[in-house]
């Protein structure tokens, strides 16, 4: 399943890419946004591509990104961008893009364990094969109460207690090792809700926990702002309400502290046409802040 980049037109427009732009793509993924940005850069343009997943970075680097300017690839977490990004022709940047979550390349890989639709090891680390804990370790080691809190707090899972109880009962006799092991346990207590698979929120919560995604957003935004030139923009694309709420609150806090101006009072959704043609875009929301 090929990754289709989300809201590319809106990102290019609001990032105000010109031939001279200096841009950081903090979530390179399959490189879709970066390739479009790179096409628009001239010889003085600079693009830095970051991903915490060494495999994703290597895949795009191998294919190459065509650009008349300079392209740098950095393996690491965007939270550390202020330390990782080399000072190229001055320190400040015109635009930074964060497209949160995972790419379809990661999702479809059975070794990664992100998808309840693909059987594979319950891993879920974006920095694969980095250090733990993996989703499998969380499922094996957390108490019933901690599991319930995790599903409720990180994914608004209404059936969190019953799911946590079922997991703890099941693991007493059978280890939960694969994605399908976990799906089968969730299915004993949760039924499909409309089109939504019963394990959707459990998988979402585990992915967020394994990759400490929420705390990374908070530190990432604060650190990334330091890299922007006055008038430079940070664009953040989120895919679920908890992520969006955190981005919204953090943007408001940075604005209150006089560091940025909020460009999107309301987040920008994808067009109806994009939602129709790329189902992954349906929950996307784009928020933008500008450095003062």
Q: How far is CA 172 from CA 142, 184, 185, in A?
A: 13, 15, 13
Nearer residue to ligand SAM within complex by CB, 22 or 52: 52
If one asks whether residue 114 binds ligand SAM (CB under 6 A), the answer comes out as no
176: Cα within 13 Å, side-chain hemisphere: 28
* 3-state secondary structure at position 62: helix
Q: How far apart are CA 93 and CA 82, in angstroms?
A: 11
Nearer residue to ligand SAM within complex by CB, 55 or 178: 55
**Which residue's Cβ has the minimum distance to ligand SAM?**
29
The angle that helices 144-155 and 160-173 make with each other, rounded to 10 degrees, is 140
Beta-carbon contacts of 163 under 8 Å, excluding residues fewer than 6 positions away, are: 147, 148, 151, 157, 185, 186, 189, 190, 202
Nearer residue to ligand SAM within complex by CB, 23 or 147: 23
Smallest gap from Cβ 10 to ligand SAM, in A, equals: 13
Smallest gap from Cβ 80 to ligand SAM, in A, equals: 8
Q: Residues in contact with ligand SAM, total (CB under 6 A)?
A: 23
Q: How far apart are CA 106 and CA 135, in angstroms?
A: 15
Q: Which of 21, 48, 78, 227 binds ligand SAM (CB under 6 A)?
A: 78
Q: How far apart are CA 162 and CA 177, in angstroms?
A: 20
If one asks whether residue 56 binds ligand SAM (CB under 6 A), the answer comes out as yes
Q: Which of residues 125-144 bind ligand SAM (CB under 6 A)?
A: 126
Encoded one letter per residue, x for contact with ligand SAM by CB under 6 A and - for no contact, window 9-48 reads: -----------------xx-xxxxx---------------
The piece of 74-82, 159-167, 249-257, 266-274 that touches ligand SAM (CB under 6 A) is 74-82
Is the Cβ–Cβ distance between 179 and 116 less than 8 Å? yes
Residues that bind ligand SAM (CB under 6 A): 3, 5, 26-27, 29-33, 50-53, 56, 77-79, 99, 101-103, 126, 216
């Amino acid at each position: 399943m090929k990754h289709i980049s989300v809201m590319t037109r809106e990102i290019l427009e609001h990032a105000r890419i010109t031939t001279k732009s200096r841009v950081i793509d903090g979530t390179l993924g399959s490189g879709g946004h970066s390739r479009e940005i790179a096409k628009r850069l001239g010889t003085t343009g600079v693009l830095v591509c970051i991903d915490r997943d060494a495999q994703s970075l290597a895949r795009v680097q191998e294919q190459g990104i065509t650009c008349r300017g300079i392209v740098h690839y950095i393996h690491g977490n965007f939270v550390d961008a202020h330390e990782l990004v080399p000072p190229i022709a001055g320190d400040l940047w015109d635009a930074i893009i964060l497209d949160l979550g995972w790419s379809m390349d990661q999702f479809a890989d059975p070794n990664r364990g992100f998808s309840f639709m693909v059987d594979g090891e319950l891993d879920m680390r974006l920095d694969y094969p980095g250090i733990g804990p993996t989703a499998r370790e969380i499922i094996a080691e957390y108490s019933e109460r901690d599991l319930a809190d995790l599903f409720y707090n990180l994914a608004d899972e209404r059936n969190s207690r019953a799911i946590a109880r079922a997991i703890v009962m099941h693991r007493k006799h059978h280890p939960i090792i694969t994605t399908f092991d976990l799906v089968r346990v969730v299915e004993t207590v949760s039924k499909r809700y409309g089109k939504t698979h019963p394990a959707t929120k459990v998988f979402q919560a585990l992915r967020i926990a394994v990759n400490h995604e929420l705390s990374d957003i908070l530190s990432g935004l604060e650190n990334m702002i330091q890299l922007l030139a006055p008038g430079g923009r940070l664009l953040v694309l989120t895919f679920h309400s908890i992520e969006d709420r955190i981005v919204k609150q953090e943007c408001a806090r940075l604005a209150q502290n006089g560091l940025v101006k909020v460009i999107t009072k309301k987040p920008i959704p994808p067009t109806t046409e994009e939602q129709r043609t790329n189902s992954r875009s349906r929950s996307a929301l784009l928020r933008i802040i500008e450095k003062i």
